Amino acid sequence: MSTTTTFELVEQFISDKFCKEDRALKSVADSLSDAGISNISVSPTLGKLLYLLASLTQAKRVLEIGTLGGYSTIWLARGVANGGSVLSLEFSPQHAELAQANLRRARLDKIAKVQVGDAREILEGMARKGAGPFDLVFIDADKESYPRYLQLSLKLTHSGSIIVADNVVRKGAVLSKESDDPRVVAVRKFLDTLSGTKSLQTTVLQTVGAKGHDGVSISVVTGPASRRNGKPPRRRSR
Ligand SMILES: C[S@@+](CC[C@H](N)C(=O)[O-])C[C@H]1O[C@@H](n2cnc3c(N)ncnc32)[C@H](O)[C@@H]1O
């Protein structure tokens, strides 16, 4: 039995035991396949982690960057505290429409809203207006923009907020300093900023299974907004 198969079998075993999908969650995959859109939603185990993080922090306001068919949005919306809400940003009108239908099917359309547009522009506008703060931010859109999403997320959160980002290991490509893949370059910069920002405490969990080898970063914001600019610290000159 190959190692990959073992990873997949164990992931399935964990999903069956702890992350059971109901009809609403299962139908997201069907809706994507019917529309000819590749299913790059998070796995059930990561979906459940998002649910747990929202529940543990009793999140009232959740921001998601990258909706696709609304699979992770459903997990997040189910985890928010009573009266809580999820705002999910999606560039593609087709994806947004599909997600809205899936949220309606899950009876979560009052809790979770999808806003169509370029997340960078939407977030910049929100930061200018002093929107937020959000208790939990989930970053899962274009990897090239992760460093900017982090800067903007730091402006839209408070001490105690959680920032989660998917796909930060990229089959180990994250190790490659010389990579010319703009996604790898951006993810490395994103991780450098996470590690260099004093007001963030972070870990990265490697993920393996049906979606291959990747990873998710989980950070807690520990400091006041004034100390946070989302840039790596300047090196001291000697
Ligand atoms: C990995 S998928 C999101 C999966 C979703 N979080 C889930 O697990 O169900 C990434 C999504 O981000 C969207 N996206 C890409 N660039 C974007 C941008 N600049 N602004 C907003 N959404 C973007 C894509 O259209 C795609 O639907």
Q: Among residues 165, 152, 76, 85, which one has the least CA distance to residue 119? A: 152
**94 in ligand 1 pocket by Cβ < 6 Å?**
no
**131 in ligand 1 pocket by Cβ < 6 Å?**
no
Do 59 and 136 contact (CB within 8 A), yes or no? yes
Nearest residue by C-alpha to atom 14 in ligand 1: 141
Which of 74, 90, 183, 216 has the most ligand 1 atoms within 8 A of CB, as the residue to mutate?
90
Q: In the predicted model, is pLDDT for residue 1 greater than 80?
A: no
Query: pLDDT of 66-81, one tens digit each?
Result: 999 999 999 999 999 9
Q: CATH assignment of 3-221, given 3.40.50.2300, 3.40.630.40, 3.40.50.150, 1.10.760.10?
A: 3.40.50.150
Residue 223 is predicted with a pLDDT of 81
pLDDT band with cut points at 50, 70 and 90 for residue 225: low
Closest ligand 1 atom to 167 CA: 1
> What residues contact residue 28 under an 8 Å CB cut-off, 6+ apart?
41, 69, 70, 71, 74, 102
Place of tokens 């505290």: 81
Distance CA 157, CA 63 (A): 10
Domain coordinates in residue numbering, the chain: 3-221
Query: pLDDT of 40-57, one tens digit each?
Result: 999 999 999 999 999 999
Query: pLDDT of 176-210, one tens digit each?
Result: 999 999 999 999 999 999 999 999 999 999 999 98
- 108 three-class SS: coil
**119 in ligand 1 pocket by Cβ < 6 Å?**
yes
